[in-house]
C-alpha cells in the first residue's frame, strides 16, 4: 500500500504540474494586434504592456496599418506561435471573426479593445460606453440650446464615424436619443467615415448653407476637431465660446487637440474615453480566464478612476466591459488623468 500511495502521489503531482496555468511560471505571452500605435492607440498598447509587465508577462505587438487582411494574417501568426491569449483592436468588426474562429480552434482566448467584433463571440470586449458618451454630448448640446434660445430648439450638424462600426452606431444613438426628446431641435446628419478631409468638406458645405447653425456634434474630435474649427474660422463663423454667434462644438474622445482648443475657448464639450486603462483591464481579465475564474455580469468599481463605475454585460459577442466616459468642459479640462493631457505630458 505504501508503494501504491507513493505512486498515486507522484501521479497526482505530475497531473497538477501539467495543469498549472502558464502564468504561474511567468510564461504568459499575449499577441496584440492594433491598427497603429499613435495617440490613443499608443496609450492602449502602453496600458496592455505595463499591465502584462507587472505580472511578468510578455506582449508581442504587431500593427496592421489599417489593413484588415494584414491583421488577419498577423493574428494567424500569433496562433502559429501558440501565444496564450490574443488581443486586438479590430480593423473590421465582422472580418475579425475569421481570426476568432481560428483562435477558438487552437483554444486560445480572444479579446478586443475599443471595438467589438460583429457576428462572433469572444472572451471579452473592453471599451468605453460609447452610447453614454453620445448621450453626454447630446445633453451638453441641449443645455446650450436652451440657454441660447430659451428652450431646446435650434439646428445641429452631426458628423458621424464609419456607421458600419458599432462604435459610430452607439455614439450616434446616444446623442440622437437625447435630441429626439426635444422636437424643436433639427439634426443634419452627415457620414464622415472617420475621414478628416471629408469632415472638413461636410462642415464647409453645411455651415455655408445653414446660416442659423447652432452646433456641431462630432463622433470623434481626434478626427474632426481641428479641421472643423479652422473651417468655421475661414467661413467667418469662428466666434469663441461665450461670444455672439458661437457654434457649440461637442464630441467624443477628448483628444489633446480638443483639449487645447477648449483651453483656447474654441471648443465646448468632449466625452473622455479612459483609454490608458483599456489594456490594463484586459490583462486583468486574461488572468482571470487563465486561472479558470468565471466572469459574471455586474458592476465594476475602482476608486480614483475616471471609468468607475463600469459594467460587465453578456451579449451576442460575449462579455463586454463598458467603462464610463466623463463629460469634459472648461471646469475639468486640466485633469491630469485625461488621456489627452497624458499625451501632452509625454510630449504629445
Residues of the chain with pLDDT under 50: 1-23
The domain ranges of the chain are 2-128+275-324, 131-272
Q: What is the pLDDT of residues 307-343, one digit of tens each?
A: 999 999 999 999 999 999 999 999 999 999 999 999 9
Show the cell assigned to 133.
458618451
| Distance in angstroms (rounded) separating the CA atoms of residues 120 and 110 | 11
128: β partners? 323
DSSP string, 238-271: -PPTTSTTPPEEEEEE--HHHHHHHHTTS--EEE
Degrees (nearest 5) of the Cα angle 158, 261, 193?
Answer: 35
Show the cell assigned to 130.
460609447
Beta pairing, strands 110-113 & 122-128: parallel
pLDDT of residue 166: 81
CA dihedral 93, 94, 97, 98 (to 10 degrees): -120
pLDDT of residue 16: 38
Show the cell assigned to 236.
467667418
pTM of the entire structure?
A: 0.86
Fold of 131-272: Rossmann fold (3.40.50)
pLDDT of residue 39: 81
| Distance in angstroms (rounded) separating the CA atoms of residues 111 and 115 | 10
User: Radius of gyration of the chain from Cα atoms?
Assistant: 23
Q: Tell me if 2-128+275-324 shares its fold with 131-272.
A: yes
pLDDT of residue 10: 35
pLDDT of residue 165: 80
Closest by alpha carbon to 252, among 159, 181, 165, 113? 159
pLDDT of residue 296: 94
Buried b (16+ CB within 10 A) or exposed e, 256-270: bbbbbbbeeebbbbb
Q: Maximum CA pair distance of the chain?
A: 95
pLDDT of residue 12: 37
Closest by alpha carbon to 47, among 99, 97, 110, 114? 114
| Distance in angstroms (rounded) separating the CA atoms of residues 166 and 334 | 30
CA distances from 213 to 187, 237, 316 (A): 10, 10, 39
Can you state the angle between helices 97-105 and 68-80, rounded to 10 degrees? Answer: 10
What are the two backbone dihedrals, phi and then psi, of residue 330, each rounded to the nearest 5 degrees? -65, -20
Please name the residues in contact with 143: beta carbons below 8 A apart, sequence gap of 6 or more: none
pLDDT of residue 28: 97
Q: What is the DSSP letter of 78?
A: H
- CB atoms under 10 Å from CB of 112, counted, come to 26
Q: What is the pLDDT of residues 225-240, one digit of tens each?
A: 999 999 999 999 999 9
Superfamily of domain 2-128+275-324: Response regulator (3.40.50.2300)
Amino acid at each position: 500500500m505504501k508503494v501504491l500511495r507513493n505512486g498515486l502521489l507522484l501521479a497526482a503531482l505530475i497531473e497538477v504540474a501539467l495543469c498549472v496555468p502558464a502564468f504561474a511560471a511567468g510564461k504568459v505571452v499575449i499577441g496584440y494586434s492594433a491598427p497603429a500605435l499613435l495617440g490613443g492607440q499608443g496609450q492602449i498598447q502602453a496600458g496592455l504592456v505595463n499591465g502584462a509587465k507587472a505580472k511578468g508577462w510578455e506582449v508581442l505587438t504587431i500593427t496592421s496599418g489599417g489593413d484588415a487582411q494584414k491583421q488577419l494574417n498577423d493574428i494567424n501568426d500569433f496562433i502559429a506561435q501558440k501565444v496564450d491569449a490574443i488581443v486586438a483592436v479590430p480593423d473590421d468588426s465582422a472580418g475579425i471573426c475569421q481570426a476568432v474562429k481560428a483562435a477558438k480552434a487552437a483554444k486560445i482566448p480572444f479579446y478586443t479593445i475599443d471595438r467589438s467584433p460583429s457576428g462572433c463571440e469572444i472572451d471579452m470586449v473592453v471599451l468605453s460606453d460609447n452610447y453614454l458618451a453620445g448621450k453626454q454630448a447630446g445633453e451638453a448640446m441641449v443645455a446650450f440650446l436652451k440657454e441660447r434660445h430659451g428652450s431646446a430648439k435650434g439646428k445641429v450638424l452631426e458628423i458621424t464615424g464609419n456607421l458600419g462600426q458599432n462604435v459610430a452606431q452607439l455614439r450616434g444613438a446616444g446623442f440622437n436619443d437625447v435630441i429626439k426628446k426635444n422636437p424643436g431641435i433639427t439634426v443634419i446628419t452627415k457620414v464622415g467615415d472617420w475621414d478628416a478631409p471629408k469632415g472638413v468638406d461636410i462642415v464647409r458645405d453645411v455651415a455655408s448653407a445653414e446660416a442659423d447653425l447652432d452646433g456641431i456634434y462630432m463622433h470623434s474630435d481626434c478626427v474632426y476637431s481641428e479641421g472643423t474649427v479652422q473651417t468655421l474660422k475661414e467661413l467667418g463663423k469662428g466666434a469663441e465660446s461665450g461670444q455672439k454667434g458661437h457654434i457649440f462644438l461637442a464630441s467624443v474622445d477628448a483628444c489633446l487637440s480638443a483639449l487645447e482648443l477648449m483651453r483656447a475657448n474654441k471648443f465646448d464639450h468632449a466625452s473622455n474615453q479612459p483609454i490608458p486603462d483599456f489594456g490594463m483591464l484586459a490583462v486583468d481579465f486574461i488572468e482571470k480566464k487563465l486561472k479558470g475564474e468565471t466572469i459574471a455580469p455586474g458592476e465594476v468599481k475602482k476608486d480614483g478612476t475616471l471609468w468607475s463605475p463600469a459594467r460587465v454585460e453578456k451579449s451576442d459577442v460575449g462579455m463586454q466591459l463598458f467603462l464610463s466616459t466623463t463629460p469634459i468642459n472648461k471646469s475639468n479640462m486640466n485633469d491630469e488623468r485625461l488621456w489627452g493631457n497624458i499625451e501632452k505630458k509625454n510630449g504629445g
